[in-house]
Amino acid sequence: ELHTLLSDQMEALLSRSLDVFSDVQDDFCCVKNILARFEEWRRSYSESYHNAYISLCIPKLLNPIIRHQLLSWNPLKESSCGEFENLPWFSAVETFCHGHGHEELEQIDRQTLSSTIEKTVLPKMTAFVELVWDPMSHQQSGSLSGVCHRLKEDYSIFKGEQSKPVKGFIEAVIQRLRSSVDEDVFIPLYPKKCFDDGSSAQCHFRDQQFWTAVKLLGNMGRWDLLLPEAVLKELMLDKLLNRYLMITLCSQTLSNNTPACKKIAESLPLSWFEGESQCLPQLQNFKNYIVQDVHRICKQQSAVVEYLKVLSRIRCYDSIMDLAGRYHCEDAIYAHQLLNQESQ
Protein backbone atom coordinates (compact mmCIF):
# COMPACT_ATOMS: atom_id res chain seq x y z
CA GLU A 1 0.00 0.00 0.00
CA LEU A 2 2.82 2.41 0.85
CA HIS A 3 4.60 1.54 -2.39
CA THR A 4 1.42 2.27 -4.36
CA LEU A 5 1.02 5.60 -2.60
CA LEU A 6 4.60 6.60 -3.41
CA SER A 7 4.13 5.55 -7.04
CA ASP A 8 0.97 7.64 -7.32
CA GLN A 9 2.71 10.66 -5.81
CA MET A 10 5.64 10.28 -8.20
CA GLU A 11 3.31 10.06 -11.19
CA ALA A 12 1.50 13.19 -10.04
CA LEU A 13 4.81 15.00 -9.59
CA LEU A 14 6.04 14.00 -13.05
CA SER A 15 2.72 15.03 -14.57
CA ARG A 16 2.97 18.50 -13.01
CA SER A 17 6.62 18.77 -14.08
CA LEU A 18 5.57 18.70 -17.76
CA ASP A 19 4.31 22.26 -17.40
CA VAL A 20 7.55 23.68 -15.97
CA PHE A 21 8.98 24.75 -19.33
CA SER A 22 5.71 24.84 -21.27
CA ASP A 23 5.93 28.62 -21.87
CA VAL A 24 9.66 28.64 -22.69
CA GLN A 25 11.04 28.57 -26.24
CA ASP A 26 13.24 25.58 -27.13
CA ASP A 27 16.27 27.83 -27.61
CA PHE A 28 16.17 28.54 -23.87
CA CYS A 29 15.15 25.18 -22.36
CA CYS A 30 16.59 22.59 -24.76
CA VAL A 31 20.15 21.71 -23.77
CA LYS A 32 21.09 20.84 -27.35
CA ASN A 33 19.89 24.20 -28.66
CA ILE A 34 21.57 26.16 -25.88
CA LEU A 35 24.89 24.42 -26.46
CA ALA A 36 24.58 24.99 -30.22
CA ARG A 37 24.85 28.73 -29.55
CA PHE A 38 27.99 28.23 -27.45
CA GLU A 39 29.42 25.87 -30.06
CA GLU A 40 29.00 28.55 -32.72
CA TRP A 41 30.72 31.09 -30.43
CA ARG A 42 33.57 28.64 -29.73
CA ARG A 43 34.05 27.98 -33.44
CA SER A 44 33.81 31.60 -34.66
CA TYR A 45 35.44 33.53 -31.81
CA SER A 46 37.67 31.05 -30.01
CA GLU A 47 39.75 33.60 -28.07
CA SER A 48 36.70 35.49 -26.85
CA TYR A 49 35.02 32.21 -25.86
CA HIS A 50 38.10 31.13 -23.94
CA ASN A 51 38.47 34.45 -22.12
CA ALA A 52 34.84 34.28 -20.96
CA TYR A 53 35.47 30.98 -19.07
CA ILE A 54 32.36 29.46 -20.60
CA SER A 55 33.34 25.93 -19.56
CA LEU A 56 32.94 27.04 -15.94
CA CYS A 57 29.55 28.65 -16.58
CA ILE A 58 27.84 25.87 -18.55
CA PRO A 59 27.21 23.44 -15.63
CA LYS A 60 25.54 26.18 -13.58
CA LEU A 61 23.55 27.41 -16.58
CA LEU A 62 22.22 23.94 -17.45
CA ASN A 63 21.61 22.86 -13.85
CA PRO A 64 17.83 23.63 -13.66
CA ILE A 65 17.13 21.90 -16.97
CA ILE A 66 19.16 18.80 -16.11
CA ARG A 67 17.59 18.56 -12.66
CA HIS A 68 14.19 18.62 -14.36
CA GLN A 69 15.19 15.69 -16.60
CA LEU A 70 16.55 13.78 -13.59
CA LEU A 71 13.28 13.96 -11.62
CA SER A 72 12.39 10.30 -12.16
CA TRP A 73 15.95 8.97 -11.94
CA ASN A 74 16.59 6.85 -8.84
CA PRO A 75 20.24 5.79 -8.23
CA LEU A 76 19.03 3.06 -5.84
CA LYS A 77 17.16 1.15 -8.54
CA GLU A 78 18.77 -1.93 -10.03
CA SER A 79 18.80 -0.55 -13.59
CA SER A 80 19.98 2.94 -12.61
CA CYS A 81 23.68 2.57 -13.41
CA GLY A 82 23.67 4.08 -16.90
CA GLU A 83 20.13 5.45 -17.05
CA PHE A 84 21.12 9.11 -16.79
CA GLU A 85 23.29 8.65 -19.89
CA ASN A 86 20.13 7.98 -21.92
CA LEU A 87 18.58 11.36 -21.13
CA PRO A 88 18.64 14.12 -23.80
CA TRP A 89 20.88 16.45 -21.79
CA PHE A 90 23.67 13.89 -21.55
CA SER A 91 24.14 13.23 -25.26
CA ALA A 92 24.01 16.98 -25.94
CA VAL A 93 26.70 17.81 -23.35
CA GLU A 94 28.84 14.84 -24.40
CA THR A 95 28.77 15.89 -28.05
CA PHE A 96 29.55 19.49 -27.09
CA CYS A 97 32.57 18.37 -25.05
CA HIS A 98 34.02 15.66 -27.28
CA GLY A 99 32.72 16.42 -30.77
CA HIS A 100 30.69 14.51 -33.36
CA GLY A 101 31.76 10.97 -34.27
CA HIS A 102 35.54 10.81 -34.74
CA GLU A 103 35.95 14.58 -34.52
CA GLU A 104 38.32 15.58 -31.73
CA LEU A 105 37.84 18.97 -30.09
CA GLU A 106 40.43 21.06 -28.28
CA GLN A 107 41.00 20.36 -24.58
CA ILE A 108 39.14 23.52 -23.55
CA ASP A 109 35.78 21.82 -22.77
CA ARG A 110 36.94 18.27 -22.05
CA GLN A 111 36.18 18.57 -18.31
CA THR A 112 32.77 20.19 -18.81
CA LEU A 113 30.89 16.88 -18.90
CA SER A 114 32.46 15.66 -15.64
CA SER A 115 31.89 19.04 -14.04
CA THR A 116 28.25 19.03 -15.13
CA ILE A 117 27.72 15.56 -13.66
CA GLU A 118 29.32 16.65 -10.39
CA LYS A 119 27.06 19.69 -10.08
CA THR A 120 23.79 18.01 -11.12
CA VAL A 121 23.85 14.21 -10.71
CA LEU A 122 25.90 14.04 -7.49
CA PRO A 123 23.71 16.43 -5.43
CA LYS A 124 20.68 14.27 -6.29
CA MET A 125 22.59 11.14 -5.27
CA THR A 126 23.62 12.83 -2.02
CA ALA A 127 19.98 13.49 -1.18
CA PHE A 128 19.14 9.82 -1.78
CA VAL A 129 22.03 8.79 0.50
CA GLU A 130 20.87 11.07 3.30
CA LEU A 131 17.13 10.45 3.06
CA VAL A 132 16.42 7.10 1.38
CA TRP A 133 19.38 4.71 1.13
CA ASP A 134 19.41 1.68 3.43
CA PRO A 135 23.04 0.40 3.72
CA MET A 136 21.63 -2.96 4.87
CA SER A 137 19.99 -3.43 1.46
CA HIS A 138 22.17 -5.48 -0.87
CA GLN A 139 20.30 -4.30 -3.97
CA GLN A 140 20.31 -0.58 -3.07
CA SER A 141 23.97 -0.63 -2.05
CA GLY A 142 24.94 -2.47 -5.23
CA SER A 143 23.08 -0.01 -7.45
CA LEU A 144 24.37 3.12 -5.70
CA SER A 145 28.01 1.99 -5.54
CA GLY A 146 27.71 0.74 -9.14
CA VAL A 147 26.77 4.22 -10.33
CA CYS A 148 29.73 5.66 -8.41
CA HIS A 149 32.22 3.19 -9.90
CA ARG A 150 30.82 4.04 -13.34
CA LEU A 151 31.34 7.75 -12.68
CA LYS A 152 34.87 7.08 -11.46
CA GLU A 153 35.95 4.93 -14.39
CA ASP A 154 34.19 6.75 -17.24
CA TYR A 155 34.28 10.38 -16.08
CA SER A 156 37.20 10.48 -13.60
CA ILE A 157 34.90 11.60 -10.79
CA PHE A 158 36.28 10.64 -7.34
CA LYS A 159 39.81 10.77 -8.81
CA GLY A 160 42.42 13.39 -7.96
CA GLU A 161 41.45 16.63 -6.26
CA GLN A 162 37.79 16.44 -5.29
CA SER A 163 35.20 19.14 -5.85
CA LYS A 164 32.76 20.33 -3.20
CA PRO A 165 29.86 18.14 -4.48
CA VAL A 166 32.10 15.05 -4.47
CA LYS A 167 33.33 15.76 -0.94
CA GLY A 168 29.74 16.30 0.20
CA PHE A 169 28.62 13.00 -1.33
CA ILE A 170 31.50 11.01 0.19
CA GLU A 171 30.88 12.53 3.62
CA ALA A 172 27.17 11.64 3.36
CA VAL A 173 28.02 8.01 2.51
CA ILE A 174 30.48 7.77 5.41
CA GLN A 175 28.01 9.22 7.90
CA ARG A 176 25.25 6.88 6.70
CA LEU A 177 27.49 3.82 6.98
CA ARG A 178 28.71 4.92 10.40
CA SER A 179 25.18 5.41 11.72
CA SER A 180 24.14 2.03 10.27
CA VAL A 181 26.90 0.28 12.23
CA ASP A 182 26.16 2.22 15.42
CA GLU A 183 22.36 2.07 15.30
CA ASP A 184 21.25 -0.83 13.09
CA VAL A 185 23.64 -3.61 14.09
CA PHE A 186 22.57 -5.59 17.15
CA ILE A 187 23.83 -9.06 18.03
CA PRO A 188 22.53 -10.21 21.44
CA LEU A 189 24.77 -11.95 23.98
CA TYR A 190 22.83 -14.80 25.57
CA PRO A 191 24.11 -17.28 28.18
CA LYS A 192 25.72 -20.28 26.48
CA LYS A 193 23.02 -22.60 27.80
CA CYS A 194 20.49 -20.83 25.55
CA PHE A 195 22.22 -22.42 22.54
CA ASP A 196 22.06 -26.02 23.71
CA ASP A 197 18.97 -26.25 21.55
CA GLY A 198 19.98 -25.07 18.07
CA SER A 199 16.34 -24.57 17.09
CA SER A 200 15.56 -22.21 19.99
CA ALA A 201 14.15 -18.74 19.36
CA GLN A 202 17.25 -17.15 20.90
CA CYS A 203 19.54 -19.13 18.61
CA HIS A 204 17.50 -18.25 15.53
CA PHE A 205 17.42 -14.54 16.38
CA ARG A 206 21.15 -14.37 17.14
CA ASP A 207 22.03 -16.13 13.86
CA GLN A 208 19.71 -13.81 11.94
CA GLN A 209 21.33 -10.72 13.45
CA PHE A 210 24.81 -12.09 12.84
CA TRP A 211 24.19 -12.73 9.14
CA THR A 212 22.56 -9.30 8.77
CA ALA A 213 25.78 -7.76 10.09
CA VAL A 214 27.84 -9.92 7.69
CA LYS A 215 25.65 -8.64 4.82
CA LEU A 216 26.37 -5.06 5.90
CA LEU A 217 30.10 -5.87 5.87
CA GLY A 218 29.77 -7.04 2.25
CA ASN A 219 27.80 -3.94 1.30
CA MET A 220 30.52 -1.75 2.81
CA GLY A 221 33.15 -3.58 0.78
CA ARG A 222 31.48 -2.31 -2.40
CA TRP A 223 32.75 1.19 -1.56
CA ASP A 224 36.38 0.18 -2.01
CA LEU A 225 38.36 2.71 -4.11
CA LEU A 226 35.57 5.27 -3.62
CA LEU A 227 35.88 6.06 0.10
CA PRO A 228 39.20 6.74 1.85
CA GLU A 229 40.81 3.39 2.66
CA ALA A 230 41.53 4.33 6.29
CA VAL A 231 37.88 5.24 6.88
CA LEU A 232 36.59 2.06 5.25
CA LYS A 233 38.97 -0.10 7.31
CA GLU A 234 37.83 1.65 10.47
CA LEU A 235 34.16 1.00 9.70
CA MET A 236 34.54 -2.57 8.40
CA LEU A 237 37.29 -3.93 10.62
CA ASP A 238 37.50 -1.88 13.82
CA LYS A 239 33.80 -1.20 14.25
CA LEU A 240 31.91 -4.05 12.59
CA LEU A 241 34.22 -7.09 12.46
CA ASN A 242 36.16 -6.72 15.70
CA ARG A 243 33.39 -5.14 17.75
CA TYR A 244 30.42 -7.33 16.74
CA LEU A 245 31.21 -10.30 14.51
CA MET A 246 34.26 -11.60 16.37
CA ILE A 247 32.33 -11.72 19.66
CA THR A 248 29.76 -14.02 18.07
CA LEU A 249 32.38 -16.18 16.38
CA CYS A 250 34.40 -16.57 19.57
CA SER A 251 31.29 -17.65 21.49
CA GLN A 252 31.46 -20.84 19.36
CA THR A 253 27.70 -21.16 19.29
CA LEU A 254 27.19 -20.96 15.53
CA SER A 255 26.31 -24.34 14.08
CA ASN A 256 29.11 -24.09 11.48
CA ASN A 257 31.67 -21.30 11.54
CA THR A 258 33.48 -22.10 8.27
CA PRO A 259 30.87 -20.51 5.92
CA ALA A 260 30.72 -17.45 8.19
CA CYS A 261 34.49 -16.97 8.07
CA LYS A 262 34.52 -17.51 4.31
CA LYS A 263 31.80 -14.92 3.77
CA ILE A 264 33.56 -12.41 6.01
CA ALA A 265 36.83 -12.85 4.09
CA GLU A 266 35.06 -12.50 0.73
CA SER A 267 33.53 -9.23 1.91
CA LEU A 268 36.95 -7.61 2.37
CA PRO A 269 38.21 -5.59 -0.64
CA LEU A 270 40.93 -7.34 -2.64
CA SER A 271 42.80 -4.04 -3.05
CA TRP A 272 43.74 -4.20 0.64
CA PHE A 273 45.81 -7.33 -0.01
CA GLU A 274 47.49 -6.53 -3.32
CA GLY A 275 51.23 -6.97 -2.96
CA GLU A 276 50.84 -8.08 0.65
CA SER A 277 52.21 -11.31 2.10
CA GLN A 278 51.20 -10.66 5.70
CA CYS A 279 47.90 -10.27 7.49
CA LEU A 280 46.57 -6.78 8.22
CA PRO A 281 46.93 -5.78 11.90
CA GLN A 282 43.14 -5.33 12.20
CA LEU A 283 42.66 -8.94 11.06
CA GLN A 284 44.91 -10.56 13.67
CA ASN A 285 41.98 -11.54 15.90
CA PHE A 286 40.15 -13.02 12.91
CA LYS A 287 43.25 -14.97 11.87
CA ASN A 288 43.88 -16.22 15.42
CA TYR A 289 40.29 -17.42 15.68
CA ILE A 290 40.57 -19.40 12.42
CA VAL A 291 43.84 -20.98 13.49
CA GLN A 292 42.30 -22.04 16.83
CA ASP A 293 39.24 -23.45 15.08
CA VAL A 294 41.43 -25.44 12.70
CA HIS A 295 43.03 -27.09 15.75
CA ARG A 296 39.53 -27.90 17.02
CA ILE A 297 38.35 -29.55 13.77
CA CYS A 298 41.70 -30.97 12.67
CA LYS A 299 40.22 -34.39 11.94
CA GLN A 300 37.82 -32.91 9.37
CA GLN A 301 40.21 -32.60 6.43
CA SER A 302 37.80 -30.83 4.06
CA ALA A 303 36.87 -28.22 6.67
CA VAL A 304 40.57 -27.54 7.36
CA VAL A 305 41.17 -26.91 3.63
CA GLU A 306 38.26 -24.45 3.52
CA TYR A 307 39.79 -22.55 6.42
CA LEU A 308 43.17 -22.51 4.65
CA LYS A 309 41.43 -20.87 1.67
CA VAL A 310 40.10 -18.15 4.00
CA LEU A 311 43.59 -17.58 5.43
CA SER A 312 44.92 -17.34 1.87
CA ARG A 313 42.30 -14.71 1.03
CA ILE A 314 43.59 -12.48 3.87
CA ARG A 315 47.27 -13.29 3.16
CA CYS A 316 48.12 -15.28 6.30
CA TYR A 317 50.76 -17.36 4.51
CA ASP A 318 52.80 -18.25 7.62
CA SER A 319 49.72 -19.70 9.30
CA ILE A 320 48.90 -21.70 6.15
CA MET A 321 52.35 -23.30 6.08
CA ASP A 322 52.25 -24.10 9.79
CA LEU A 323 48.75 -25.63 9.74
CA ALA A 324 49.26 -27.52 6.48
CA GLY A 325 52.43 -29.09 7.85
CA ARG A 326 50.87 -29.98 11.17
CA TYR A 327 47.74 -31.57 9.67
CA HIS A 328 49.33 -32.97 6.49
CA CYS A 329 47.48 -30.74 4.03
CA GLU A 330 50.52 -29.72 1.96
CA ASP A 331 48.88 -30.97 -1.24
CA ALA A 332 46.04 -28.45 -0.76
CA ILE A 333 48.53 -25.58 -0.89
CA TYR A 334 49.49 -26.40 -4.47
CA ALA A 335 46.11 -27.71 -5.59
CA HIS A 336 44.42 -24.42 -4.66
CA GLN A 337 47.44 -22.10 -5.14
CA LEU A 338 47.02 -20.88 -1.56
CA LEU A 339 50.37 -19.06 -1.56
CA ASN A 340 49.87 -17.40 -4.93
CA GLN A 341 46.66 -15.36 -4.70
CA GLU A 342 47.95 -12.57 -6.96
CA SER A 343 47.69 -14.87 -9.99
CA GLN A 344 43.99 -15.60 -9.47
Residue 107 has pLDDT above 70, yes or no: no
Residue 165 C-beta-side C-alpha neighbours within 13 Å: 17
Residues 6+ apart with CB under 8 A from 105: 97, 98, 99
* pLDDT at site 66: 95
Is residue 171 within 8 Å of residue 179, measured between CB atoms? no
- Which pTM does this prediction carry? 0.90
Alpha helices for 78-190 (secondary structure H): 88-98, 112-131, 138-155, 164-184
* pLDDT at site 344: 46
Least confident of 143-147, 214-218, 253-257, 319-323: 253-257
Residue 196 has pLDDT above 80, yes or no: no
Least confident of 146-155, 193-202, 328-337: 193-202
Query: pLDDT per residue over 17-37, tens digit each?
Result: 777 777 777 877 899 999 999
From first CA to last CA, the distance across the chain in angstroms is 48
Is residue 236 within 8 Å of residue 268, measured between CB atoms? yes
pLDDT band at 91 (very low <50, low <70, confident <90, very high): very high
Read off the pLDDT of each residue in 42-60 and give the average, rounded to a whole number: 91
* pLDDT at site 101: 56
Residue 288 has pLDDT above 70, yes or no: yes
pLDDT band at 342 (very low <50, low <70, confident <90, very high): low
* pLDDT at site 316: 94
